[in-house]
Chains A and B, each alone.
Chain A
Amino acid sequence: MTRRRDLALKAVRAALQMRSAAGYQPWQPAAAFDLAQTLGIETRFVDIPSLEGMYWKKAEPVILVAAERPPGRQAFTCAHELGHHAFGHGNKIDQVLEESSLKDPEEYLADVFAAFLLMPKTAVLHAFSVRALNPRNASPSEVFIVAGWLGVGYGTLARHLQSGLGLITARQRADLLKVQPKTIKRALLGKDIATDVTVVDDAWTAGRAIDVQVGDFVMAPSGTSVTGPSVGEEAVIMSNTVFNALKPGVSRLCRPTGWSAYLRVSRRRFIGRSLFRHLEEPPDD
């Protein structure tokens, strides 16, 4: 137990160090794939279904992430591999969904590292307080919105709120996990969708890029406008404008207040270098 605790402390410290070295404020969300790029690590999405992720240790290190996974899970996997990188671990092929208790120490270390790289307590508490929320009594859709801002999956955040941060009880966590993301998405959009929705509310930090895939939806307060060819305006729901990601590329969301953020659209289940995931298709010549 003590050994686990020491490992966890080591992992949390390393995660916070990597965040601050990359220029993130403690309260800011971190983007795992941007971070890997900043560190000069070649990161690629691959069509290898039984692989969750891989860290390849060499002079020019490589991270591989399975293309066929939800984006939140891919971000967590990328962060997990960044953990192996930070600790100088050897070549690792990973399946992140194993139970932590069964894992060897290096896997445990990388998992805790990933959780605190993407969901440090300061950023999580900030995300709730800036929305006038408290994790202790937040509704599933509020937890869902915070998970979107942090760039992690709903279930991942629900579990971390309890086991990693001790901000909610096991009972509250179980209650949150009873609600499926698809139910929350239906409540938000008023229809069933097979893709994702990100809620870019008034508390969404200016400059925090919104990463989506073709077919995904973005809900933003009325008055938000979009420039760029990759996104269309779909509907207005309860004083929110709903945008639909149409094709790969980088657009920009703006508000009359001066707020703006990039909206980066990638192909669905993109296979390739992470560097090219938002590259626009040139017009036919």
Chain B
Amino acid sequence: MGADEKARMAVAARLRMAREMAGLSQAQVAKKLGLHRPSVTEMEAGRRSVTAEEIVVLADLYAVSIDWLTRGSDEKMDLAQQRFELAARELGKLKPKDVDRLLQVLTALREKERPR
């Protein structure tokens, strides 16, 4: 698998994860975007390219960060950052596997700081 294809598959996987986290079915997304359902299936399988405009619309629909959707994250760095922002006292309230899940959710929702 080439680097381009790897990146496309990674975006496809995150599109699916973001949709599921938003609580939408493929059919609901298709209706909101005015697409046919198979188009959404194809996007999430990495068999159809996703335009920049679609990425913006989907990120908004799923309420996830565009950076995370397109580039994913430097997992180690982002998780370290989240751990830093959430005091250990807070995370200590959760079961270890739930900590991982929570950090995953927060990473997807996290907008990179932008100068205003």
Contact = CB atoms under 8 A, between A and B. Distances in A.
A98 to B, nearest CB: 10
Given A48-B102, A273-B22, A281 B94 contact: no
A173 interface: no
Contacts, number: 81
Contact of B22 (A50, A62, A272): A272
A113 interface: no
Interface residues of B, number: 29
Contacts of B85: 91
Contacts of A284: 27
Contact of A282 (B31, B63, B94): B31
B61 to A, nearest CB: 9
A87 interface: no
Interface in A25-57: 42, 44-51, 54, 56
Interface residues of A, number: 32
Given A44-B21, A276-B24, A60 B111 contact: yes
Contacts of A91: 85-87, 90
Contacts of A62: 109
A272 to B, nearest CB: 1
- Top 9 A-B residue pairs of the complex, sorted by shortest distance between their CB atoms: A272-B23, A93-B90, A50-B95, A50-B98, A282-B31, A48-B98, A50-B94, A276-B23, A273-B22
Given A44-B63, A46-B101, A276-B23, 18 more contacts: A46-B21, A47-B101, A48-B101, A48-B102, A49-B98, A50-B93, A51-B93, A51-B98, A58-B111, A93-B86, A93-B90, A276-B22, A276-B24, A279-B28, A281-B25, A281-B28, A282-B31, A285-B36
Interface of A: 42, 44-51, 54, 56, 58-60, 62, 64, 91-93, 95, 267, 270-273, 276-277, 279, 281-282, 284-285
